[in-house]
A and B are shown apart, each in its own frame.
Chain A
Amino acid sequence: MKKVVILGAGSGGTLLANLLAHEFRREIEDGAVGVQLVGEGDDHVFQPGNLDVAFRGSDPASVVRRESSLLKKGVLQVTEGAAKVDLEQRVVTTRGGSKIPYDHVVFATGAVADPGLMPGLREGSLNFHEGPAEAARIWAALQGFEGGTAVVAITRVPHKCPPSPNEAAFMLDEFFRRRGTRGSVKIKFVTPYPRPYPAEQVSDVIQPLFEKRGIELVPFFAADHVDAKAKKIYSMEGESVDYDLLIAVPPHRGAEVVRASGIGDEEGWIPVDSRTMKVRDHPEAYAIGDATSIPISKSGVVAHLQAEAVAGSLALELRGGREVFEYNGRINCPMETGLRRALFVSGTYDSAPRRERPTLLRYAMKREFASIYWSTIQGGWSWLMDAYFGETSEPHELPA
């Protein structure tokens, strides 16, 4: 039996498992191919929904489904997370000590938002990157926030979903406007970058909106620590910003299993070929989504498109082919700008994101993509994804 083991049951891992289960349905029935998905527990979170939990009061349970209900027949689910991967012996060890041998392994282990990586941040801030329960704490805090300075801060890069801090600022603005208290709230946006959004073309659109909505930009602020008692966030140069409410994007790192397996950089991101998604020096191993070190958005759409590319490559490889699919770096990050408007940050490795103005249509598209998410990670709506994204990966001959 040829066995593919996928580590991580988020967007990328789940879609990849389902695509392989469909592609190899006959071989799986015959026992010639095995697809195992190793993830911690049985909860699957639609992470973009955390923003709605934090700023619109959505029920945290509404963004969670059982992973087992999302998997196609033929996927063997393991609900005990991986502790270590021996890439030489090709064996995964789970946290409980079970050994899972493989022929191909895919790291879809994601990114971990970890406030513990910055002194004072856990005590002094709230965030929506750790999960829906933490996001709900923001909603609770907003209910009692009568006035003062609300700060949205990017404490370190890279982090999941690059547009999400901007969305948080816009949604805060919207929340206070709808409540009628906007006049008594100062909103500050603290970022290490020179502008509101890292990519200049997108920032050119966001900056005037910040000015229009009264969101104050604090650029070039490399956060170092938070003094929770004094309610101040400090930079590496010793400057500080006062806050009454701090909503921070925590520092992120790779999954523990990556570090334990000795394949990540110092922050736990996996070095891969940015087009084939193969792990450096290990052609039988792939990594997709947030887990990699490639300079591209850590987002569900990227994980989705990379999962499709790797599914194509494994379909060829397991049948003895000499080709591999190459991903073109397509990103497509929706950004809500408040008051029912959104824009998409789209580009590839070879084309920077272009400028586009926020529209109601983009907002509707963002909402629609969210509503079909659960189906798309089961392989559904592929015609729509293909029609919208076009070819995002193509097969190429492997070097001899």
Chain B
Amino acid sequence: MFSTVIEAFGMVFKPDVLLVMLASSIYGIVIGAIPGLTAVMAVSLIMPIAIFLDPIPALAAVIACDAMAVFAGDIPGTLLRIPGTPASGAYTDDSYKLTQQGKAEEVLGANCFFSAIGGLIGLLVLMTSAPLLAEIALNFSTYEYFWLACLGLTCATFMTSQDKLKGIVSLFVGLFLTTVGFDSITGQPRFTLGVTELLGGIHVIPVLTGLFALSEIMRRVSSTTPPSAMYTGKIGYIYKGIFHMWRTHIPQFLRGNLVGVVVGALPGAGADIAAWLSYAISKKCSKTPEKFGTGHMEGIIESTSANNAALASAWIPAFVFGIPGDVTTAMVIGILYIKDLKPGPTAFIDHPEIIYGVFICFAVANILMLILGYYSIKAFRHILRVPPFVMLPLILVFCTVGAFSINNSLFGVVVMLFFGLLGYIMEENNFPVSPMLLAIVLGQILERNFVISMVKSGGVWIDFFNRPIAGTLAALAILFWVYPVLKKIYQIARPKAA
């Protein structure tokens, strides 16, 4: 193991990898700091480049970009009351109220410091739990993987959708889309409409650039919201008194990290949910809940720790089971498959140096955040000065090249355009797009494990339940499915009983 760690260090601490990390960090900060451009969009735009890089620089680019974009989302939230990313939205009101009280430096320092520490704690959990879980997962069969995929998709749908019905529809349309192309079991072409390019299926990269980037560009150019006002106050040294703040907020810090790593590790959940849940828990547990929303540091520390802790722990299900923890890790799984590095428990045996390399990249990215975060806050005014109507067409060309470069074919651009329009219509009508993307990533895993399980069991359904872990996962998934129905029945029955 020691030699593998040394090898991983050697792979990460190369000038080209460090340069990729630095460039992706700066890029992540710029995108994250621009109101309306999300961390997911930042990562989705980096994907067309990542697929041409070696595995370690590709994964390092995603890790650095994601961590920085999630943190940078706090900057416009604090200074302009416009959260840069959905995760920052949880505590924007508190941050902005503190800015109005002349405490912008304090808030931004807390955002940067606790994000970085949260990220390191998430990494610690990833490092300790992933190898242990991988050993257990080595005994998994198709039944367990089938239920894990079900559980991941269920969590993704129920946690990311305000309108559950539309979330379910989005999920199943995504699952259907994975059936386009050759069936991996029988080799039968399906739903290709005579288009040769569809025989290989629908590639995830043009889909995600369409769903997340193109649709966002369309929304931004048609926005009726006036441009945000520039922050004019002075920002000095942001880490002044940070250790005192840490000492006085230990319970919030610990709780935020705990919620972050647990939520992040749930298949389908992610940093956004971790931040909102953490804020709600912080308010519930606070001795002064009435101060929340009026400029209170407790909720900020708890949620900002949680969202970055969730980033690392979201890699646990991705690495151990090949089931993405969030949209970003769904994209990472796409990269791993392209690089012929199949995620799953055998990854810890087949290419452990990549796993340790990822751990090191997380550590470097979070340490880098403390330094770059400081300068990015200073440079925020300049970032906002970039006219969005110059930035958006540039992103558009970038998306087009990215979609083209997947198969060196214009068909990728056509797919991106289709999913861009679809994503725009979906979001305008409150259909969440995340379940669709996760379904596209997980659909083939679900179908393959299901069909193989059916063949193994000779069509006997009970075999899906009679292995201990498969049974437990099945019970959890079914509980998720029936809970809303039971709740509804209870709500209808209760007034009658009263």
A and B interact physically: no
Q: Interface on B for A, CB 8 Å cutoff? A: none
